[in-house]
Amino acid sequence: MAINIAAVAEGLVLGKKAGVDPERIFEAIKGGLAGSQCLSDKAPRMFKGDYDPGFRMKLHVKDLTNVLETSRELHTAMPLSAQVMEMMQTLMAEGHTEADHGGLAMFYEKLNSISLEK
């Protein structure tokens, strides 16, 4: 889930940086192969800057901690999960522990000096 949310945020930020309205990107891809429930739920919230908790960042970090600990025990590489964990840890350090995990978009917005909000 976390990787999916990060991919949604990353793609929308890139599109906006390229001058494309992120809502048009969303409309273009939501019904195709790139569409997902995650995209349909999180993208509209990103456009509003609405990160009221559905699933709190701190709870997702707890789950990712379990995933990464298990992966180490099983000697299984999980580089994407580890990277998203770092993004979430950064957001939590900035005070977003209670934000919805869709708040991963804030990481990309800050990193690229752009907002997905209208």
pLDDT, one tens digit per residue, over 66-104 is: 999 999 999 999 999 999 999 999 999 999 999 999 999
Q: What is the pLDDT of residues 28-66, one digit of tens each?
A: 999 999 899 999 999 999 999 999 999 999 999 999 999
Q: What's the pLDDT at 1?
A: 86
Question: Two tokens at 36?
Answer: 């997902």
pTM (predicted TM-score): 0.91
Domain locations along the chain: 2-112
The answer to whether the CB of 4 falls within 8 A of the CB of 36 is yes
Q: In the chain, what is the greatest distance between 2 CA atoms, to the nearest angstrom?
A: 44
Task: Please state, in angstroms and rounded to a whole number, the distance separating the CA atoms of residues 32 and 74.
Answer: 35
The residue written with tokens 């350090």 in the block is 93
CATH number of 2-112: 1.10.1040.10
Q: What is the pLDDT of residues 17-26, one digit of tens each?
A: 999 999 999 9
